């Protein structure tokens, strides 16, 4: 868990890069007949209540996951009539690897859990890797049903999440799986920014191990609610976090530092769940912040 936390934190800076793209939307286009761009038009973002924030962010994140799931399922169908190691397989995987900026690579995995073909080219070196011991791969081989992994350290030496769909031959024989490996922080940053465009809310996302997958503060990404030092001395937070890990929906209160400051405040939070194939993340919105 400590290694997972450190690697996730190292990609937290990607939040800032992705956010810059959305910041461009604040600048109005050049005025007609003008010699240069018009002055930026800035407006005060509308603050959303927790119920509305959860609704729009949940919908956006789930839609992003669903789309990646559909893309992986489509690739699995295409691979069914191919050899899993031929040039046609590479073309299918190249296309799959381009479906989102969050994607790391796409792989054709054998029925024994061997990475047969990997795209893009910078990950060709992991071809031949045996990943059958990974929990989600073992589950797919056993059940021959789609899976989404928890965040884990991959053979590519990154922390990521994997969506896999089984591949079946035209005769119905199980041939392996199509894998789509992606960075949750990038997917979540894009989905949350799109959901909150022109509006604001304090929202974060954690997995059911307590690891922060998304937060407006990049320093929080990759921390663990149960083991990171900054959370250990807050028993109310620990109690709410334990409920959050076991309850798909709920609400609670805890005392913690104000976002971006050191003053102690009482935070009221509500949460809901997103996910695929039995693996869930919690989307959390802060309802109110009051002096502790």
Digit-coded pLDDT (tens) for 164-204: 999 999 999 999 999 999 999 999 999 999 999 999 999 99
Sign of CA dihedral 193, 194, 199, 203: negative
Burial 61-74 (b: 16+ CB within 10 A, else e): bbebbeebbebbbb
Model pTM?
0.84
> What pLDDT shows up at residue 21?
42
* Confidence class for position 279, pLDDT limits 50, 70, 90: very high
**pLDDT mean over 37-59:** 78
More confident residue, 273 or 229: 273
d(CA 171, CA 118): 25
Cα-trace Rg, the chain: 21
* Confidence class for position 40, pLDDT limits 50, 70, 90: low
> What pLDDT shows up at residue 237?
93
**Dihedral angle computed from the Cα positions of residues 186, 189, 190 and 194, in that order, rounded to the nearest 10 degrees:** 170
Would you give the distance in Å from CA 21 to the centre of its chain?
Answer: 18
Classify residue 134 by its DSSP letter.
Answer: S
User: For the chain, what percent of residues have pLDDT higher than 90?
Assistant: 71
């Amino acid at each position: 868990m400590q290694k997972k936390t450190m690697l996730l934190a190292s990609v937290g800076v990607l939040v800032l890069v992705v956010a810059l793209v959305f910041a461009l939307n604040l600048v109005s286009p050049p005025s007609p007949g003008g010699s240069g761009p018009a002055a930026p038009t800035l407006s005060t973002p509308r603050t959303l209540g927790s119920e509305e924030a959860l609704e729009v962010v949940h919908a956006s994140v789930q839609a992003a996951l669903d789309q990646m799931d559909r893309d992986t399922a489509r690739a699995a169908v295409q691979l069914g009539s191919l050899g899993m190691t031929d040039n046609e397989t590479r073309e299918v995987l190249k296309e799959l690897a381009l479906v989102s900026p969050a994607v790391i690579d796409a792989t054709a995995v054998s029925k024994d859990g061997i990475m047969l073909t990997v795209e893009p080219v910078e990950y060709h070196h992991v071809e031949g890797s045996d990943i059958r011991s990974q929990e989600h791969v073992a589950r797919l081989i056993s059940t021959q049903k789609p899976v989404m992994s928890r965040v884990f350290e991959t053979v590519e030496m990154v922390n990521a999440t994997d969506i896999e769909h089984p591949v079946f031959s035209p005769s119905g024989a199980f041939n392996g799986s199509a894998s789509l490996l992606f960075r949750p922080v990038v997917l979540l940053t894009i989905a949350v920014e799109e959901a909150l465009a022109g509006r604001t809310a304090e929202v974060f996302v954690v997995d059911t191990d307590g690891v922060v997958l998304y937060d407006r503060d990049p320093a929080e990404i990759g921390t663990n609610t149960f083991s990171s030092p900054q959370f250990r001395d807050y028993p109310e937070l620990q109690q709410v976090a334990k409920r959050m890990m076991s309850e798909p929906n709920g609400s609670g209160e805890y005392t913690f530092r104000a976002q971006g400051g050191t003053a102690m405040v009482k935070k009221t939070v509500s949460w809901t769940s997103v996910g695929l194939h039995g693996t869930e993340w919690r989307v959390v919105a802060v309802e109110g912040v009051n002096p502790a």
